Amino acid sequence: MAPAKTFHPLMEDTEHDYHCLCHGDGVREILDGLCSRFYSMGAGRSRSGRAVEVGALVLRDIMRTWRHLGVIEPDMVLTCGNAGDVRKAIAASRLRGIGVLHVEQDIYNPIEMIAFADIVTAPSGRYRDYLEDQYLLENVEVIGGYPHALYVSRLQIVDPGIRDYTLLVLGGDLRRRDIPEVISGVEALDRRVLVVPFRFSPDYVRSFVKSGNVEVLEGFVDLPSLMSAADLMVYGAGMGITIEAAVLGVPSIKIKGFHGRHASVDLAGEVGIPVADAGDLRDVVDDVRPPAASDIVRNAEAALSKLSELVEDFNEFAGPRGGFKSMKRIWDARKHFR
């Protein structure tokens, strides 16, 4: 859903006819009213699936996306994020000969298919240099921030009607085998804890809970509202949650997770969110302060302006692609992030 939140301000502030290729209901909820139509790209792929089966499903979804693009006949395709949907969209767009603008935020571990985007954006000059030097991308434009932050600043926060709790968000920076240690770590804080499983089954998470202070939530939750009312948030997730914690000013601890290097870790350091192992939460919790993120929304406004310019003058900015050399460089690097 983070890519949808990144594009929401652009779609809200411009008058183009947008069509959305996605999977799941979360994107539809975020972009409802801004898209003429939604098209299914298939389903997300489990990390545990066999390579041959997953590959066949991805190829099927690429062809599904290719057919959708034939119906839509777009002037260009916008992609964002580090998910299979980016791979499918760029592959199908190349087959159709449609230009692609990709908004990159993960930086260290991008999807290899961004090598075939006509424009790739980066949040800063330092990240542009990394993408060009490490991954041989040839047309990276600096937008100077994260438009997602502007989306969060415009949200209507609802009072959840509860107080005095720690919020635990279990996201994509964690694996199933990490959950027991994470639950044990928050139980050691001796606080009331509300758990949003996010990427994990509530029953699976609940099976490791030993304290009556820990409650695992089910179904839809208004996460920003729960975040804003929490005394503390502990999260094992990436860029999206880090941006939202910073904009909302939520005292937070980011669990280190299995990504040794990640742009969300960089951003957490910049805004003052400590990054710690799950077993060390009790050692750092007393020193946690609200993030120092006064610039993040202002930078997001500048980023949106630059992104709008790239969309409006796409043909002027579209340049050489990294191609197969870039794709191989990214593919080889991704092995270290699994």
CATH number, domain containing residue 67 = 3.40.50.2000
Q: Report whether 168 contacts 231 (CB < 8 A).
A: no
For residues 262 and 120, state if they share a domain.
no
For residues 307 and 274, state if they share a domain.
no
For residues 23 and 129, state if they share a domain.
yes
In terms of residues, how long is the chain?
Answer: 338
For residues 190 and 242, state if they share a domain.
yes
For residues 6 and 146, state if they share a domain.
yes
Bridge partners, residue 19, by sequence: 37
For residues 218 and 262, state if they share a domain.
yes
For residues 217 and 267, state if they share a domain.
yes
For residues 5 and 92, state if they share a domain.
yes
Q: Report whether 78 contacts 90 (CB < 8 A).
A: no
> Does the predicted TM-score (pTM) go above 0.85?
yes
Q: How far apart are the first and last CA of the chain?
A: 21
For residues 127 and 181, state if they share a domain.
no
Residue ranges with strand state E in the chain: 19-22, 37-40, 76-80, 99-103, 119-122, 140-142, 166-170, 193-196, 214-216, 232-236, 252-255, 275-276
* Per-residue pLDDT tens digits of the chain, which is 338 residues long: 889 999 999 999 999 999 999 987 789 999 999 999 999 998 765 545 577 887 888 899 999 999 999 999 999 999 998 888 999 999 999 999 999 999 999 899 899 999 999 999 999 999 999 999 999 999 999 999 999 999 999 999 999 999 999 999 999 889 999 999 999 999 999 999 999 998 899 999 999 999 999 999 998 899 999 999 999 999 999 999 999 999 999 999 999 977 778 899 999 999 999 999 999 999 999 999 999 888 999 999 999 999 999 999 999 999 999 999 999 999 999 877 76
Please name which of 196, 199, 204 lies closest in space to residue 222, comparing C-alpha atoms: 196
For residues 217 and 103, state if they share a domain.
no
Q: How far apart are CA 110 and CA 113, in angstroms?
A: 8
How many Cα atoms are found within 13 Å in the side-chain-facing hemisphere of 79?
A: 32
For residue 86, what are the domain limits?
1-152+299-336
Q: For residue 3, what is the DSSP state?
A: H
For residues 133 and 96, state if they share a domain.
yes
For residues 84 and 181, state if they share a domain.
no
Q: Count CB atoms within 10 A of the CB of residue 136.
A: 16
How many domains does the chain divide into? 2
Cβ partners under 8 Å of residue 294, min gap 6: none
Strand order in the sheet with 119-122: 76-80, 99-103, 119-122, 140-142
Q: Count CB atoms within 10 A of the CB of residue 164.
A: 9
Residue ranges with strand state E in 66-165: 76-80, 99-103, 119-122, 140-142
